A and B are shown apart, each in its own frame.
Chain A
Amino acid sequence: MLKISVWLLFVSIFLVSPFIGVVDLDMAKILHSGSLSQTIFFDLRLPRVLFAFSAGAILALSGLLFQTLFRNPMMTPYTLGISSGAVLGAGIAIKLGLATLFFGVASVSVFGFLGAFLTVVLLMYLSQFLHSAYNTSLLLLGIALSLFYTSALMIVFYLGSSIQNDMLIRFTMGSLSIIGWGNPILLAGVALFLLGSSLIYRYELQLMSISDESARLKGVNTKKTTMLLLLLASLAIGILVSISGPIGFVGLIVPHMVYKLYPQSVEKRISKTALFGGLFLVFCDTLTRAIQTQSELPIGIMTALIGGPFFIYLIVKGSEK
């Protein structure tokens, strides 16, 4: 019953999402070419729904991958400092006043992506030196990196002008506002690629959800599988964060929510997690647009406001028995 109501709610919000926003659309004019309603609907609202859906799918899926590969419920690209790396990269671009484009891509995005990418490379390099309690050590490493990045970002703030800092604060709060179809299509492609790769490796993931040693003994090249999937998930997150800024919480809780609703082996939860993540973020995004404030609420605030209580409810309900 809970399952059906949750899906029903998410899907119906998904369907009405493009019709909701600060500007009320004139339904009759949506199909009239050249009308304002049509421009808003087709160039702002629809691409935004696709963007939010793909972003949610990437966040949830990479959360599931990280949690499974490291067998640690806390592990996400966020807890490992990968998104902090992106934020620092973007911050440096803003501080340097790089308003230019690299091959048609905003330099803030390029720097953001580089920040995420370099963090992944650094983590992979450092993880060679970890021997005992590999997972916990890596988590600690990620937390240390995050804190380091935050301090570095503070220096950027300290040196920045008020206009630059305003841009930076907005970036760190995360936003799904985009114009046109370029970014949404890029992100949808990334999401599909990540989903496809995860599905190809679903049986390896199933074995690795037991233990690393167990998987190896059954014939899984655990090192290769881990590296490959981590790299793909991290790159996807890098691309996402470089465009939207960090959107926390989704990667951490959506995999757990899906698990609570569907207590099944991990290979059966991959597609569900991606779908649920996508719908969840569209749901949260629709609410930020529906609630009329001075300006839109940052999406990160909404994901935590909605996700937090629901997550707590599921945990409490799950341990009732």
Chain B
Amino acid sequence: MINLKNVSFTYKKENILQDISLNIESHVSILGENGSGKSTFAKLLCGLQSYEGKISIEAENIEQLSLLDLAKTIAYVPAQLEIYDDSMSVENFVLLGRFAYKDRFFAYSKEDKEKTKEVLELLHLEYLSHLSMNSLSSGQMQLVLIAQALTQESKIIIFDEPTANLDPKNSKIIGKYIKQLKKKCQVILITHDLHLAKFIDSPVLFVKNKKISFQKDFFNPATLRVLYGVAFDDLVVAYA
């Protein structure tokens, strides 16, 4: 359970999120317009940004958690990742999810490597193992990023627009995996993709006017029209 108490975030003197108090008990999908602060919200949860107020996960203030413990608690899957080191192979990259479990001075253990192999097999990615991360297609990259989050074995995984760069086929594959993951851990999905949000079928948090709140009956054309301020009823009829 994630609890936010009077959380505000300001960037360059501009208020992005203001005085948010919220309980997130389980899986959620977060939607909202471009620039509304969805990704910022994710970064606050991961401890990447400093903020006012208090965020706790399982009653523990995340500012008081060590970075290693935070990594065991929450994993973040970006839409894309540009990697400076061209030589980083997929296998190596996925293994790095185990950093928080590794002994400080020692190499990654046999169990860490086995865990990596397991995850790669689970996602059918063995054939990519030895390729460079920078040579992957967007679809492959997203799957590998998910694989790394899985080796991290955290209680919560945040997906930040997982289908943003994907074709319909790959979006469908990713969607399926995310839905399956709901059985294993708490899934926080940030997306613009109404198809995906509907498919994942978690309660919806909507970010608007510096506030975040739960939306009941989100996929109702009338609700969507109010939230996004445009009529696209025809597009949404299918979900209603």
What residues of chain A have their CB less than 8 Å away from a CB belonging to chain B?
A: 68, 71, 200, 203, 206-207, 209-211, 213-214, 216-221, 259, 263-266
Contact = CB atoms under 8 A, between A and B. Distances in A.
A234 B68 CA distance: 28
A263 B86 contact: yes
Q: Which of A210, A216, A217, A221 has the most CB of B within 10 A?
A: A217
Interface residues of B, number: 32
Given A200-B105, A210-B93, A211-B81, A221 B67 contact: yes
A32 B152 CA distance: 64
Interface string B51-87: 0000000000000001111111001100001111111
B84 A207 contact: no
A203 B81 contact: no
Interface of B: 46-48, 66-72, 75-76, 81-89, 92-93, 96-97, 99-100, 102, 105, 107-108, 152
Contact of B84 (A210, A219, A220, A263): A210
Nearest to A67: B84
B83 A263 contact: no
A211 B48 contact: no
Contacts of A221: 67
Contact of B48 (A206, A210, A213, A220): A213
A136 B147 CA distance: 32
A200 B104 CA distance: 9
16 contacts: A200-B105, A203-B108, A206-B96, A207-B99, A210-B84, A210-B96, A211-B81, A217-B71, A217-B75, A218-B99, A218-B100, A219-B71, A219-B99, A263-B86, A265-B85, A265-B92
Contacts of A259: 87
A268 to B, nearest CB: 9
Q: Which of B71, B99, B100, B107 has the most CB of A within 10 A?
A: B99
Given A207-B96, A216-B48, 20 more contacts: A68-B84, A68-B85, A200-B105, A209-B85, A209-B88, A210-B81, A210-B83, A210-B84, A213-B48, A216-B67, A217-B71, A217-B75, A218-B100, A219-B67, A219-B72, A220-B99, A265-B85, A265-B87, A265-B89, A265-B92
Contacts of A264: 87
Contacts of A210: 81, 83-85, 88, 93, 96
A265 B88 contact: yes
Contacts of A265: 85, 87-89, 92
A149 B105 CA distance: 40
Contacts of A216: 47-48, 67
Contacts of A71: 84
A176 to B, nearest CB: 32
A216 B50 CA distance: 14
B202 to A, nearest CB: 22
B112 to A, nearest CB: 11
B3 to A, nearest CB: 21
B46 A217 contact: yes
Contacts of A68: 84-85
A203 B87 contact: no
A142 to B, nearest CB: 19
A266 B68 contact: no
A160 B221 CA distance: 81
B57 to A, nearest CB: 15
Contacts of B68: 219
B83 A218 contact: no
Q: Which of A211, A218, A263 has the most CB of B within 10 A?
A: A218
A139 to B, nearest CB: 14
